[in-house]
Structure 1
Amino acid sequence: MTPPSLPRPLPAVVGNDQTGELRRRVRAFLDEERAEGRFEPRVNSWMDGWDPPFSRRLAARGFAGMTVPTRYGGAGRTFLERFVITEELLAAGAPVAAHWFADRQVAPALLASGTEEQRAELLPGIAAGELSFAIGMSEPDSGSDLASVRTRAVRRDDGNWVITGTKVWTSGAHRADRLLLLARTAPGDPAARHAGLSQFVIDLATPGVHVRPVLSMDGEHHFNEVVLDQAVVPSTSLLGVEGEGWRQVTAELGFERSGPERFMSAHQLLEEAARDARGHDRARRGSVPADLGRSLARTAALRALSMSVAAAITAGEDPRVHASYVKLLGTQHEQQLVENASLEGPALDADGLRPHVVAGLLSRPTYTLRGGSNEVLRGIIAREIGAR
């Protein structure tokens, strides 16, 4: 039996003078922010680091809304250039959560599927770091199986929609301005489970929309349950084409699953572990602890794959399967990194390392929840391989 072929590798990516200048600029900005005491580096900063003033200052330098066209107030840059900025922000543990979801996937969704009115209304606020979004996909008892969505949107005679249902694991909904929601607008068909889904942009202040906290084991609050109890939203809330929600969402998942946040959530922990190792005699003799060496090698490999996805998006290709690789392997890498660090007894005595290890251990279970579970991602990859 001939083994199935693997997906075609994405093109290799090399840096250039333009991306090098971007790196220098964003590093200078971050150095200035730290010197002013405006943030402390932290693990999981793209989920936990909610700081709207920081997002606005970042946008004022042109480092948010990178891929938004200039006519909507953005920088008009490529996804590869956005990758460079994102990587630097995560490496610094900067508090980017307030603009993260809007910048990462809502802006591309609006550009791909939104009306001109929606783009003119929403994109300038996203590019300025002033308009925040949460993403309403997952539901209770459904996990990452988006085809089983039960939230219903029914069109009234006046053209407005009445939405009823519950979303869960909705990061930042208690602070965000808008919700990008996936709902069922036509009855489910057992033979076509992905049909009849549509997307909506909803103001979270809408009557009938209730946000309830889902606390992490450390008491942190970034997940939520969002209940829509016959919430009435205008006809202009529909994003894209009615019934095309599945196609639109799966295209967006390429942005959600492929970025450096999928292997750099615990990067502060890796940096501190490397700094701690450099202080030992064995590091000065040229040796590196085996687990640390493997973690650094995996980071480099994942970075190359993730950058290739950014290059593919810039070239107009569909990288959703490769994005699933980044998310799956990145989740495993981050969880292993936290586990290895927690087992290093002497390293835990280092003041700089301990808080990152504790934060990493407490957030570790969430890594596989956000952006699709490992089981779902393996299914996507297996179907792609089997089809070749």
Structure 2
Amino acid sequence: MTAANLHLALPKLTPEAETLRQDVRTFIAEERAFGRLPPPRRIGLGFDKAMTKRIAQKGWIGLTWPRQYGGQERSALERYVMNEELLAAAVPVGAHWIADRQSGPVLLKFGTDKQRQFYLPLIASGDLTFSIGMSEPESGSDLASLRTRAEKVVGGWRINGRKIWTTNAHHAQYMIVLARTSTVEGSRHEGFSQFIVDMTTPGLTISPIVSMALEHDFNEVLFEDVFVPEEALIGREGNGWNQVSAELAYERSGPERWLSSFRLISELVDVLGPDVRPGTLEDLGRLISHLLSLRQLSMSVASMIQQGKSPNMEASIVKDLGTKFEQEAVRVVRNIVSADDLVSSGRAERLKALLIHAQQYAPAFTIRGGTNEILRGIIARGIGLR
């Protein structure tokens, strides 16, 4: 393989995608007018079941899925445009984000028809929240070293182990868990399987992980003899590594990988006056140019997904660069706020609140979706450097 294996052509948005963009902007304006979308005081994905239900009523959850499962059969680029607008406006989409982004697509691609018929319509209607059971306390982003095991028993499987950084597991009804079901000599990547776990199952304990911002999004989940029935297995036993690799492409490439701190930049632009320093304009221009480049990369990956491809390497590039951009954005905005003395002017109370939260939240950018070191290893393999 060489760098020529990269496929990052910029797609052209269709008229349908641009029409959808206007529809989403109208929805956002109406939500603000009704007082249901107050100005954000935090970055990241907010959790609001009522908002998720209103988005579902628009048909915007499972947008690309077949109609028989509650979807609209629209393109991946249309979905991209919709999410871009929702995230840029800081709409709290956390209640359905994981299910819509990856849990549903995994079931659509690998699940049984019975699984699709049950779970997908409930996700599309905004009634189910899913969480991700991948990372473990002693494994981090090295999923091949995970220790959670699923043992075959009469009528199903018994799961034992721990999962960490499980976003909104305390709100979720279900989790898709990656577990080892067998050991294959000479291979670290074979012998894994994925399971749908009901979060009310006996033997499952959820412990909160409170961030520096004093927020409870992350959790650690303990599985002690957690029984799941035969029909909880997703896809083929032992094919979990291939399935989770496809799932991670959905997780790592989306606009949330570079739009989490967008509101911080947007608020900064709103408060900058006509007497802004030349250095500030230069720093801000550089930041926005990086943002636009990331947008093009991310849209390219959405186009590959639309074509039925699994852009694992390209998605890793987007996630790695997105993490760097998100953290750089916090640093640049902090420096501009200080240099331009914006906070003392009284014009930037909302910006100040967002900046405080962003500085506390920024370390999480390198945790979610895989650490930079793991991502760069994937990229290096993809272009033939290792």
Residues of 2 paired with 1:211 and 1:234: CA distance? 21
Q: Is the contact between residue 206 and residue 220 of structure 2 (CA under 8 Å) also seen in structure 1?
A: yes
SS in 2 for 1:30: helix
* Counterpart in the other structure of 1:76: 73
* Counterpart in the other structure of 2:94: 97
Normalization by structure 1: what TM-score?
A: 0.94
- The alpha-carbon deviation at position 46 of structure 1 amounts to 5.0
Q: Is the contact between residue 195 and residue 244 of structure 1 (CA under 8 Å) also seen in structure 2?
A: yes
What is the number of residues matched between the two proteins?
380
User: Letter of the aligned partner of 1:112 in structure 2?
Assistant: K
SS in 2 for 1:226: strand
1:244 equivalent to 2:239? Answer yes
Q: Is the contact between residue 6 and residue 314 of structure 2 (CA under 8 Å) also seen in structure 1?
A: no
User: Letter of the aligned partner of 1:153 in structure 2?
Assistant: A
Q: What's the CA shift string for 1:27-63, capped at 9, x where partnerless?
A: 111111111111224376553x110110010010111
* Counterpart in the other structure of 1:280: 274
SS in 1 for 2:342: helix
Q: What's the CA shift string for 1:319-361, capped at 9, x where partnerless?
A: 1111001000000000000011122312344223111111111
Q: What's the CA shift string for 1:165-222, capped at 9, x where partnerless?
A: 0000000000111001000000254x20011100001100000111000000121000
- The alpha-carbon deviation at position 287 of structure 1 amounts to 8.5
* CA 310–281 in structure 1, closer or farther in 2 if over 3 Å, else same: same
1:109 equivalent to 2:106? Answer yes
User: Letter of the aligned partner of 2:24 in structure 1?
Assistant: V
Residues of 1 paired with 2:23 and 2:376: CA distance? 38
Equivalent of 1:260, from 247, 250, 255?
255
Residues 309-318 or 94-103, more deviating: 309-318
Equivalent of 1:360, from 345, 358, 361?
358
Identity %: 47
The correspondence of residues 120-135 of structure 1 with structure 2, limited to 5 A, is: 120-135=117-132
Equivalent of 1:294, from 286, 301, 312?
286
Q: What's the CA shift string for 1:261-320, capped at 9, x where partnerless?
A: 00000010010112223x23248xx98622211110011000001001001110112211
User: Letter of the aligned partner of 2:301 in structure 1?
Assistant: V
* CA 332–136 in structure 1, closer or farther in 2 if over 3 Å, else same: same
* CA 44–4 in structure 1, closer or farther in 2 if over 3 Å, else same: farther
SS in 2 for 1:206: coil
1:169 equivalent to 2:161? Answer no
Normalization by structure 2: what TM-score?
A: 0.95
SS in 2 for 1:98: coil
User: Letter of the aligned partner of 2:357 in structure 1?
Assistant: A
SS in 2 for 1:25: helix
* Counterpart in the other structure of 1:149: 146
Q: Is the contact between residue 43 and residue 263 of structure 2 (CA under 8 Å) also seen in structure 1?
A: no
User: Letter of the aligned partner of 1:281 in structure 2?
Assistant: D
SS in 2 for 1:97: coil
- The alpha-carbon deviation at position 242 of structure 1 amounts to 0.4
* Counterpart in the other structure of 1:235: 230
Residues of 1 paired with 2:220 and 2:21: CA distance? 37
Q: Is the contact between residue 341 and residue 347 of structure 1 (CA under 8 Å) also seen in structure 2?
A: no
* Counterpart in the other structure of 2:368: 370
1:381 equivalent to 2:379? Answer yes
Equivalent of 2:17, from 10, 16, 19?
19
Q: Is the contact between residue 70 and residue 124 of structure 2 (CA under 8 Å) also seen in structure 1?
A: yes
Aligned-residue RMSD, C-alpha: 1.7
SS in 1 for 2:105: helix
SS in 2 for 1:142: coil
Q: Is the contact between residue 203 and residue 223 of structure 2 (CA under 8 Å) also seen in structure 1?
A: yes
The runs of 4+ residues in structure 1 deviating greater than 4 Å are 43-46
SS in 1 for 2:329: helix
- The alpha-carbon deviation at position 8 of structure 1 amounts to 2.9
Residues of 1 paired with 2:99 and 2:41: CA distance? 21
1:199 equivalent to 2:197? Answer no
The correspondence of residues 214-225 of structure 1 with structure 2, limited to 5 A, is: 214-225=209-220
Q: Is the contact between residue 44 and residue 266 of structure 1 (CA under 8 Å) also seen in structure 2?
A: no
Q: Is the contact between residue 45 and residue 96 of structure 1 (CA under 8 Å) also seen in structure 2?
A: no
